[in-house]
């Protein structure tokens, strides 16, 4: 039973109705029909299992009007199933209680992954309107289950007898996780307290949806329209063509549109020579959703979310939301997360200041006086990189053509490590023509699941990169996995190749790491399947695969010039790898600052919530010694989707926590011979197949033989 679809997927979202047609979402003129006008018949594809391979969603059959009836009927059926479990006369057993709960909610398990995926990857006005309606309903539905006293009594009885039951490790884990979920939802609270919890959860679901929908709207609001092409000097012909196409799509023929991507820094800042244009881009990015000139303002939502989360934590008996969130994570408490970040501050700040001196030196050579500004850093970092390492991004990108990276890099590396292969198929419907589908074939030739690749940026797609699961593996349900990777690679002009940055290449390796975490899952119960693991562990199986992107054997196989086919020259490769270590002070500091902002907000009590967002951010960064003007946080609060709408509240530190594990594990791979199947199979058996069926630190020890150390991380980030 999975009741956290929206937060687990971590996906965001004038009224028109759209429906799939030949893989596209076409506009319909009829309004969305209310649930009571649609009967439970064959016209709704969510009312019965999909007939496609592995129960993959039939995107050619799905219409927006199918979602609400499926959600309503799915919730109705699951609540009826829960009432039957709760009210039965027989004493609680694993079969008649927890396994019965795991079998419940089949309609919801079909409709929710599809809906929340599309709300982030292919949204529109109709989906956004539906999400605003569905989110509070799902919050109430979850409370109706977890605050059911009779149901909790049965779960608690099983939990109390967990040491006496003749159960497997996975069955005992299932009991413990259910008990934990019920207690953390408020099952032990009084009736009045539970009523307040319900109200808070409903309001939180509404506000997080509003926050994410605002970010989708603000991406258009804050796009920069340029009329004079001379102000875009430094952009490649492909980038200019994309900017021109973007402007034309908005009705601005002959002009150029620079769209904002999700982080504070923007990719074009590395190339734009015009300092005023860089400044305009940076300000448009950094001041997003802050109500400038009467525009969209997420700050009131931030304050309300922080206050509600703090109030809920207090009701549940915790000092603050961070204490509540981290209780069942690897860190266990906010003090441990703060300490990890604070221990890195001196070294990271020293590294960033050294880098800033080089940036300032390059600026002076261009005749620019004054301090380093945030809009200067990335442009001059590329100049320093080119000067000190004799390489720049434009020299490397021709060797990173996307199809070669995917087939000869990512798929090749995962094949060498795990013995799997990917076979593209064209017979399954998708939500956009650029989406591709692959059979994933295991050692011995058995197809174990489906992999969807959705790599290109769209205006109706949220920023960043992520993995979703349309179908999660479960032996109990007889389900095999169907997963998708999403990125936001700019789509080139027709007839031109897609050339990637090294960062985009690394992200492709990273996201398929999430993918195989879902694809290799081999557990009995849905609750424990795949990536349903603690937040500060879920990024570990993906991050550990990143370093294969710059492994010499893998690079030699995929890094070939898109025109000549020439393998990337060894000297250029060596310089590119060395250059990739440059700017790590900047990259680590901007991440740490954002992680501290997140923990800072969520370590407050309800009474401590401030009234001014910007002042709180400034004071917090200064308090922790990371207020360095040229290096702003990767996200400011008003567009920090990870923590306000994406399920990472008090958990953004998890990327660095997971990187400690990843760097240590990759070092183990190299110690044991590197890229060979025996290493991959060991990792698959101990980590990727286990989901949350075993304590995650024990999983790591099973693979590594010991707990991780930070040494490999410091080397990986060029800090040691």
Please name which of 314, 307, 321 lies closest in space to residue 608, comparing C-alpha atoms: 307
Instruction: From residue 546, give the alpha-carbon distance in Å to each of 358, 389, 503, 573.
Output: 28, 22, 10, 17
User: Distance of alpha carbon 369 from its chain centroid, rounded?
Assistant: 40
Residues 298/277, Cβ–Cβ less than 8 Å: no
Hey, CA dihedral for 527, 530, 535, 536, is it positive or negative?
positive
Which residues are within 8 A (CB) of 15 and not within 5 positions of it... i.e. 6 or more apart?
31, 125, 126, 129
Strands (E), 278-329: none
For residue 692, what is the DSSP state?
T
Residue 466 main-chain phi, psi, to 5 deg: -165, 170
| Contact call for residues 176 and 162 (beta carbons, < 8 A) | yes
Cβ contact 713:660 at 8 Å: yes
Alpha-carbon distances, residue 380 vs 358, 364, 504, 603 (angstroms): 9, 11, 20, 37
Q: List the beta bridge partners of residue 483.
A: 451, 469
The residues, ordered by sequence, that sit 6+ positions from 202 with a Cβ below 8 Å of its Cβ are 136, 139, 140
Alpha helices in 123-168 (DSSP H): 125-146, 149-160
C-alpha to C-alpha distance for 226 and 583, rounded to whole angstroms: 29
d(CA 550, CA 559): 10
Rg (CA), the chain: 25
- Backbone torsion region of residue 226, taken as left when φ is above 0, otherwise alpha when ψ lies between -120 and 50, otherwise beta: beta
| Tokens read off for 164 | 């006496």
Vertex 650 angle, CA 645 and 656, to 5°? 105
The span from the CA of 44 to the CA of 40, in Å, is: 7
Residue spans of alpha helices (H) in 405-490: 411-418
d(CA 35, CA 425): 35
- Residue pointed to by tokens 């030949």: 22
Separation between Cα atoms, residue 691 and residue 696, nearest integer Å:
9
Is 462 within 8 Å of 11 (Cβ atoms)? yes
DSSP 51: -
Contacts of 353 (CB under 8 A, 6+ apart): 585, 628
How is 542-580 classified by DSSP, letter by letter? Answer: HHTTGGGGG-HHHHHHH-B-TTT-PBPPHHHHHHHHHHH
**130: its two tokens:** 């539906």
Residue with tokens 């990512």: 410
Tokens of 13: 């979202």
Go through 701-712 and write b for each residue having 16 or more CB atoms within 10 A of its CB, e for each that does not: eebbeeebebeb
Active site residues: 511
Contact assessment for residue 627 and residue 300, using Cβ atoms and an 8 Å cutoff: no
The DSSP string of 643-664 is HHTSS-TT-TTHHHHHHHHHHH
- What is the rounded distance in angstroms from the CA atom of residue 285 to the CA atom of residue 632? 12
């Amino acid at each position: 039973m999975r009741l956290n679809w929206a937060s687990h997927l971590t996906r965001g979202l004038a009224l028109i109705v759209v429906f799939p047609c030949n893989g596209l979402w076409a506009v319909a003129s009829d309004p969305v029909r209310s649930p009571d006008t649609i009967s439970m018949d064959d016209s709704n594809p969510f009312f019965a299992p999909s007939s496609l391979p592995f129960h993959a969603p039939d995107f050619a059959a799905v219409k927006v009007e199918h979602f609400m009836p499926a959600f309503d009927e799915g919730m109705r059926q699951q609540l009826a199933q829960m009432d039957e479990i709760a009210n039965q006369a027989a004493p609680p057993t694993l079969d008649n209680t927890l396994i019965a709960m795991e079998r419940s909610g089949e309609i919801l398990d079909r409709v929710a992954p599809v809906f929340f995926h599309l709300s982030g990857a292919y949204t529109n006005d109709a989906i956004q309107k539906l999400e605003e309606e569905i989110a509070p309903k799902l919050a109430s539905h979850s409370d109706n289950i977890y605050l059911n006293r009779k149901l909790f009594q049965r779960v608690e009885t099983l939990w109390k007898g967990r040491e006496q039951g003749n159960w497997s490790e996975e069955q005992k884990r299932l009991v413990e996780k259910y008990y934990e979920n019920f207690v953390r939802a408020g099952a032990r609270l009084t009736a009045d307290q539970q009523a307040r919890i319900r109200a808070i959860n409903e309001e939180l679901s509404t506000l997080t949806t509003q926050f994410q929908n605002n970010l989708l709207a603000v991406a258009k609001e804050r796009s920069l329209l340029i009329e004079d092409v001379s102000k875009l000097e430094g952009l490649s012909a492909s980038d200019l063509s994309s900017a021109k196409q973007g402007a034309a799509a908005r009705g601005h023929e002959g002009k150029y549109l620079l769209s904002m991507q999700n982080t504070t820094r923007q990719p074009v800042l590395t190339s734009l020579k015009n300092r005023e244009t860089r400044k305009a881009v940076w300000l448009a990015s950094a001041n997003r959703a802050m109500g400038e000139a009467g525009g969209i303002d997420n700050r009131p939502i931030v304050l309300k979310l922080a206050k509600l989360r703090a109030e809920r934590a207090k009701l549940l008996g915790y000092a603050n939301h961070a204490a509540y969130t981290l209780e069942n994570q690897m860190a266990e408490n906010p003090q441990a997360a703060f300490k990890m970040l604070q221990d890195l501050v001196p070294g990271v700040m020293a590294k960033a200041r050294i880098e800033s001196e080089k940036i300032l030196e390059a600026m002076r050579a261009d005749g620019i006086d004054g301090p380093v500004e945030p809009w200067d850093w990335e442009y001059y970092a590329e100049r320093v990189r080119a000067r000190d390492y004799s390489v720049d991004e434009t020299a490397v990108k021709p060797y990173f053509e996307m199809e070669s990276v995917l087939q000869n890099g990512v798929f090749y590396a995962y094949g060498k490590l795990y013995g799997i292969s990917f076979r593209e198929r064209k017979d399954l419907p998708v939500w956009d023509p650029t989406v591709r589908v692959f059979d994933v074939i295991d050692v011995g030739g058995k197809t174990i699941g489906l992999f969807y690749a959705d790599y290109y940026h769209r205006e109706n797609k949220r920023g960043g990169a992520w993995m979703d699961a349309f179908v999660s593996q479960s032996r109990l349900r007889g389900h095999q996995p169907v997963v998708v990777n999403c990125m936001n690679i700019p789509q080139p002009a027709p007839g031109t190749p897609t050339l990637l940055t090294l960062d985009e290449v690394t992200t492709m390796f990273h996201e398929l790491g999430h993918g195989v975490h879902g694809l290799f899952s081999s557990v009995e119960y849905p609750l424990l399947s795949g990536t349903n693991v603690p937040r500060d562990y879920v990024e570990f199986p993906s991050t550990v695969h990143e370093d294969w992107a710059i492994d010499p054997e893998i690079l030699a196989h995929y890094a070939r010039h898109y025109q000549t086919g020439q393998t990337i020259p060894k000297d250029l490769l060596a310089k590119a790898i060395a250059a990739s270590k440059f700017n790590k002070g900047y990259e680590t500091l901007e991440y740490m600052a954002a992680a501290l902002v997140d923990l800072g907000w969520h370590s407050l009590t309800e009474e401590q919530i401030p009234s001014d967002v910007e002042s709180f951010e400034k004071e917090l960064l200064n308090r922790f010694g990371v207020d360095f003007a040229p290096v702003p946080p990767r996200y400011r609060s008003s567009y920090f989707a990870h923590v306000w709408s994406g399920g990472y509240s008090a958990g953004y530190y998890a990327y660095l926590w997971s990187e400690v594990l990843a760097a240590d594990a990759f070092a183990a791979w190299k110690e044991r011979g590197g890229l060979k199947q025996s290493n991959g199979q060991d990792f698959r058996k101990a980590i990727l197949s286990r989901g949350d069926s075993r304590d995650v630190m024990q999983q790591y020890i099973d693979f590594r033989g010991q707990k991780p150390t930070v040494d490999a991380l410091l080397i990986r980030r060029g800090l040691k």
